[in-house]
Structure 1
Amino acid sequence: MAQKKLKRSISGLKRIRQSKKHNLVNTAVKSEIKTLVKKLNSAITTGVKEDIHSSLLKATRALSKASSSGVLHKNTSSRKISRISKSAHKVLSS
């Protein structure tokens, strides 16, 4: 059974183009956040305090920027910041 070809308006085609671009940007930002959190976790396991501090700053900054730009929900980024801060400060305080 053959399907009809959907008619698309000019604005609909533009929205498709925009959503593809936004998807690429959002994927790149999320990937960068995951990388920064992994680097922080590896710094926590090694226990080098300077690396932990700098990695924590980079990760929290990236999470805050992602929530302010709409890539992540603000509660999601707040939860992740809270969790990584807690684990980092546990090592830094000891």
Structure 2
Amino acid sequence: MANIKSAIKRIDINEKKRSHNIQFKSDMRTHIKRMEKLIEQKDAEGAKAALPSTFKKIDKAVQKGGVHKNKGNRQKARLTQKINELGA
């Protein structure tokens, strides 16, 4: 455990940020799993309707620093590709 006051503060701040990031990442993963379940069930209309809210959650996680920008873009591209394949 840290002995220096600033190091103790840093530990507290890092823990708060970690728990904050976990919330956004968890929410993002939940929405992605819901989308994949809709795609698996071949529900094109439901998947297209849920796409904007899922993109919003991914963008929010990127904006808050929970995930890297490229990972967010990759997730969105893969979901879009799966939906396009479903519709075709």
Question: How many positions carry a matched residue from both structures?
Answer: 88
Partner residue in 1 for 2:65: 70
Structure 1: runs of 5 or more not aligned: none
Q: Percent identity?
A: 24
Using the alignment, how far apart are the partners of 2:14 and 2:49 within structure 1? 34
Paired letter, 1:7: N
Q: Which aligned segments of 4 or more residues in structure 1 are displaced greater than 3 angstroms?
A: none
- In 1, Cα distance between equivalents of 2:2 and 2:45: 57
Specify the code of the residue in structure 2 equivalent to 1:37.
I
RMSD of aligned residue pairs (Cα, Å) = 1.6
Q: Which residue of 2 aligns with 1:84?
A: 79
| Partner of residue 31 from structure 2, selected from 12, 28, 36 | 36
Q: What CA deviation, in whole Å up to 9, does each residue of 1:13-62 have, x standing for no partner?
A: 22111111111111121111111111001111222233201322121111
- Secondary structure of 1:82 counterpart: helix
| Native 8 Å contact 2:38 2:46 kept in 1 | yes
* Paired AA for residue 65 in structure 2: G
Residue 17 of structure 1 aligns to a residue whose secondary structure is helix
Q: TM-score, normalised by structure 1?
A: 0.81
CA–CA separation in structure 1 for the residues paired with 2:54 and 2:33: 9
